[in-house]
Chains A and B, each alone.
Chain A
Amino acid sequence: DQQVKQNSPSLSVQEGRISILNCDYTNSMFDYFLWYKKYPAEGPTFLISISSIKDKNEDGRFTVFLNKSAKHLSLHIVPSQPGDSAVYFCAASPTNFGNEKLTFGTGTRLTIIP
């Protein structure tokens, strides 16, 4: 039972354009959501997070939107840069303690085309 779903295994975006990565979840107990980025042969690195009490969080080029009623979140990257090419994982936690019992999606491979 995949509680966190990333339905797009891959996405290609032109450099300079907006990249939108989507994530859906089924467990209404999730309270905290995170996005991680992973390069080959490296561990995931934290990108941005959002608490369930918010609907938007922004950090530079990265913005995460949360729609609790739809159980959907998205990561927007504007403008997209070649270094953004990586696998992006969405993750959710049932607690406000960010990293506890994280459930990850299967990832979306983002390719930025120069």
Chain B
Amino acid sequence: DSGVTQTPKHLITATGQRVTLRCSPRSGDLSVYWYQQSLDQGLQFLIQYYNGEERAKGNILERFSAQQFPDLHSELNLSSLELGDSALYFCASSVPANTEAFFGQGTRLTVV
């Protein structure tokens, strides 16, 4: 158990819908990272938050947004969903950025 909790574990939704994925980092970790892993692909970095502020952005679509709340949990919002958004979404956390990051088990999103 990495200490990073992601909910839900599985999500099936229809095209055009909006979903929210939730991540609770390890206690004390200030940095939260979101990654997307599509079939047979590596993990694609989406976005990083540090203590509530956006710190780095990767290949995140405009239809996607995220935030980190004062209690340090983070949510990734995916809207106007398309079939190609079906993927595993991982959250990771670390104390500052340059220490080991711990990954959650992921949320498997299926868009039908």
Interface residues of A (CB under 8 A from B): 2, 4, 6, 36, 41-46, 89, 91, 95-107
Contacts and interface: CB of A to CB of B under 8 A. Distances in A.
A99 B43 contact: no
* Interface residues of B, dominant DSSP: loop
Contact of B94 (A42, A45, A99, A106): A99
15 contacts: A6-B42, A43-B105, A43-B106, A45-B103, A97-B96, A99-B33, A99-B92, A100-B56, A102-B33, A102-B35, A102-B45, A104-B43, A104-B45, A106-B41, A107-B42
Nearest to A6: B42
Nearest to B55: A100
Interface of B: 2, 4, 31, 33, 35, 40-45, 48, 55-56, 58, 90, 92, 94, 96-106
Nearest to B40: A106
B105 A99 contact: no
A101 B103 contact: no
